[in-house]
Structure 1
Amino acid sequence: MIVMAQITVGDRVKCQKNGNTDYDFYAKVEKIYENSAFVTITHYDVRDDINVSELQYRAVIALKKMKIAKPTAGEAKELQAVSPAMLAE
């Protein structure tokens, strides 16, 4: 049996690519549902720029497709960070 870490509101998570994105991304959990969570994307691969902006930097992701994690310093340099101005659009 696989035991997943308990994910709660406010956690920073790494989400696997899904039908809306082509690459994994990092996000902050905003709301928990039964088997999924509503997240705000914080860091993503630049190649996913159009996809992520169409999502308005938010997505609903299955809990089994995410794990608690923050981008490493190296990843943070390579990934596009989402600014508050981007979220206000």
Structure 2
Amino acid sequence: MKNITMTELNQHISSITRDVIERGEPVVVTKRGRPVLRLVPEVPAAADPLAALIATGKASPPTSMSSKTVRRAPVTLSRPLDELLDEERADAEF
């Protein structure tokens, strides 16, 4: 990870941001020797948020499937959810 000063960022912001985007390497900006912000490239949004976290290294894929990770079938409601919530809220005592 590259470190630069706030002055360097102000003087060369275009080239620094271009490097971050093209190389994908984060840059830490310091002010008086202390880190104050980090420039990181934006990760494209994935249809699956877990896949995006795995791709960036912030999560690891499951090693086995347990009964807790199996998706359940969707529940069919007798009426729209908004109506059911409105009815429930009307019955609540405040």
Same fold (TM over 0.5): no
Per the shorter chain, which TM-score range? under 0.3
Name the structure with the higher strand share: 1
Q: Determine which structure has greater relative contact order: mean sequence separation of CA pairs < 8 Å that are 6+ residues apart, divided by chain length.
A: 1
Using the size of structure 1 for normalisation, the TM-score is 0.21
Using the size of structure 2 for normalisation, the TM-score is 0.20
Name the structure with the higher helix share: 2
Whose Rg is larger? 2
